[in-house]
Chains A and B, each alone.
Chain A
């Protein structure tokens, strides 16, 4: 018992102050939102397009990256002879509509807006989610799990991962949705009482990730269920996931953070 109390004292209080305080620091090599400088692109150069594993980069009219397909591997930045692509440290990436993940120098990322007033009244202070891994590699799943640990403690916001879809207000989907999970995902979605929301977490759940185009997968959650929040990354940092969820619930504005 004494050792237990001593351990308790040693471990201390570790829940992040965020969002009331600063977010936990991210390492300098963290790859967040990419920064594009199309004026640096040389005519006819396709070096970035050719190294991208998921055909996420387009060059016409100017360089643009589909963050939904992006694996954040940064091969494009390494391949670019002119430094037209660099990787910034901004973790805020989640959006409400799939097409908003197409980013260019012209078009900044439109970060997720809050649910409409009716859903916000329902879920704003109590959101129960059921997680479904559908072909996920257990990286997104592991970092979804992290949100429930005491460092992140999403229970503070009334968000909880629950065991049954019958107890849930929505789903978190990870993975490219393997054909072998398509039916199970659909049934789980159907088992959630309306109104309900779906959060697609990670490159796989958005567009298939490395499995883009495989006949063994449906190519993301959107192929099977309607999606309300898209969180890019491979896997997204827990802070990126939390940022998206809090924006969806309209809780970042209230914490004083400007968009």
Chain B
């Protein structure tokens, strides 16, 4: 753990002065990150901050065992930084992103490539060429007489976001899947610089629209930390209720979609509707099926008066009964189990090396859940059971979702029964200048990490968003390796990752 000594130890949801963060030489910082990860920490964020003199690199590591985070930084003045992706694979996409966002070279990176095909974060030089479109340029290729290549996307067959998938196959067998994204890039992180302003909350709510509550909660906890305030207990409880409703809706949708992909239509069609019923419970809370307007800096935009609480409880029980009836059919159907089991395996050691998060990690036996390990808001008061599975296959990813739904139901009932009294929202003052704060929220896909650094005026000098999908797309590629190309839709659905959350 010697590498960990080089870091400032703190916790998520607490602001620290930027100058208190240890500044190391670039190579030492990179080595310290590798050493710390060897010692059990993991990379929550690793990104650049524009500075007049160059780029400031910031490492945010999560220490799950101690409910803490570790921070360190370095100032880069040259055009290159040393890559450590070969020694610490969970860094690989962060390094590619850093290179792309600041026009740098990741020296020694085993697979350098664009992440989003985006222009540099700070104004590119006038006349600089626009980046090439995603999916163009050189992609990894396997050569051989009987090897063939399959390209899919960006426009896919379903109602789904765009991405490009390039398979290197030998017959049915997939040797390698390369995933190229960036089609959904719309400049979220660039536009957040200089905030908070009247658009900030909308950028947060639409970072990944199916995770409106998750991202908005992460952003608001960050703003509150920097302003030295916190959501009142009742407001925090309402946010947690909305976050669990978001999880129930999406897990139900995913289980239905998995059933659909193996041709098991009863669960597919029931869950399609039941997912909507969970969304309607969110709308009961705030008028929007996706929770728009509910999470606001300082607390919740809406209260839950007694009559509404009873409607919500009744609706929750009714909908969950329907969900149970639909989903339990899966485990009893041998044809479904035959397709789920042993398909798309991600071994535990690979899940750890890639830094997977959320249900995808837990399905590979990685016992990791921010609601227990780094609890914020109402999760400090209500304990959360963590569901894991060992096999790392599609079945495990489905099963973990169902177990999480049961845990969410228990959490919701406990929280609704003991809803704290008082106000739901408090005013939020100015943000502390020259500070940094990190927030960690367990969204339905996994770890949502937001990091903000303020300037001398208390405006965002940098706002970093790490959607769980940023960690997990590599897991999907791993799941396909050695598998069959016809299993791709099923594997893809079992991860159900966000394109827009990755592309920002």
- Which residues of A come within 8 Å of B, CB atoms? 3-4, 6-8, 10-11, 14, 26-31, 50-54, 71-75, 131-146, 148-151, 161, 163-165, 175-176, 178-181, 183-184, 188, 204, 209-211, 214-217, 234-235, 237-238
Contact = CB atoms under 8 A, between A and B. Distances in A.
A164 B152 CA distance: 13
Q: Which 8 A-B pairs have the closest CB atoms?
A: A137-B209, A139-B209, A29-B287, A149-B272, A163-B157, A216-B187, A210-B202, A137-B206
B156 to A, nearest CB: 8
B325 A10 contact: yes
B430 interface: no
Contacts of B500: 135-138
Contact of B160 (A133, A164, A175): A133
Nearest to A235: B290
Contacts of B191: 211, 214
A131 to B, nearest CB: 4
B281 to A, nearest CB: 9
29 contacts: A3-B332, A29-B285, A30-B288, A31-B288, A54-B199, A54-B202, A74-B293, A131-B159, A133-B159, A137-B206, A141-B159, A141-B160, A142-B253, A143-B289, A144-B159, A146-B275, A146-B276, A146-B279, A149-B272, A150-B269, A151-B272, A165-B155, A180-B133, A184-B155, A188-B155, A210-B202, A214-B186, A234-B206, A235-B289
Nearest to A216: B187
A139 to B, nearest CB: 3
Contact of B185 (A132, A143, A178, A237): A178
Contacts of A146: 272, 275-276, 279
B273 A149 contact: yes
Contacts of B276: 146, 149, 151, 238
Nearest to A212: B199
Interface of B: 116-119, 130, 133-134, 154-155, 157-162, 182-187, 190-191, 198-199, 201-203, 206-210, 212, 253, 266, 269-270, 272-273, 275-276, 279-280, 283-290, 292-293, 302, 322, 325-326, 328-329, 332, 498-500, 503
Contacts of B160: 133, 141
A8 B102 CA distance: 56
Contact of A235 (B161, B209, B286): B209
A210 B201 CA distance: 10
A230 to B, nearest CB: 19
Most buried by A among B159, B184, B288: B159
Given A11-B325, A150-B273, A27 B284 contact: yes
Select the residue from A8, A137, A138 with max chain B CB neighbours within 10 A.
A137
B273 A134 contact: no
Contacts of B202: 53-54, 71, 73, 209-210
A136 B156 CA distance: 14
A152 B425 CA distance: 36
Given A11-B326, A178-B503, 20 more contacts: A7-B325, A27-B283, A29-B302, A52-B198, A53-B201, A132-B155, A134-B183, A137-B209, A140-B209, A144-B159, A145-B159, A149-B272, A149-B273, A163-B157, A165-B155, A175-B184, A178-B185, A179-B130, A184-B154, A216-B118
